[in-house]
Amino acid sequence: MDELSFAEETIDRMKDLYGLAGNHAVVRRTIISRIYYSAHHLSRYLLRRVGLRPETWRRNVHQRVIDEIHRQFVATNMMNAQMIPLLRDMRRNRINADYQLRTTISEGDVEDMFDMFDVYLNECRRLLEVIT
């Protein structure tokens, strides 16, 4: 399974889980984390499509992926510049969900993450039509 398929499948399963148990804080935190990682894997997929090998990176991998998305696609006007703050927001939300346990994660937070991912996925699909 490639990262695009993985991301799409993960989001579908997270939507199912949210429908079943989205009223539980632990589930909301898990969903936010999985949504972020779906976007991260999708980003890595794009980078591999242009010859980079993010699987070999060992330091600051998450930030480097965002930086390379900017360098490879945003700076070259192939991708909407709003994708970088969107990725940063998704990453920050994932860190909060995973580590800031005193922070309340609301249903609105989860829905915002789903919305951000949908925007990013659509932009990635558009980009893939150009680079493949």
CATH number at residue 75: 1.20.120.330
Cβ–Cβ under 8 Å, residues 17 and 31: yes
What is the structure's pLDDT at 22?
Answer: 85
How many residues make up the chain in this entry? 132
pLDDT of residue 103: 95
Question: Could you tell me the two tokens for 44?
Answer: 């890595």
As given in the structure block, the two tokens for residue 78 are 């192939």
The pLDDT of residue 12 is 97
Expressed as residue numbers, the domain containing 122 is 3-131
Contact 38, 117 (CB under 8 A): yes
Cβ 106 vs Cβ 22: under 8 Å:
no
For the stretch 44-57, pLDDT in tens is 999 999 999 999 99
Residues of the chain with pLDDT under 70: none
Please tell me the total count of domains within the chain. 1
- Taking the whole predicted model, whether its pTM rises above 0.85 is answered as yes
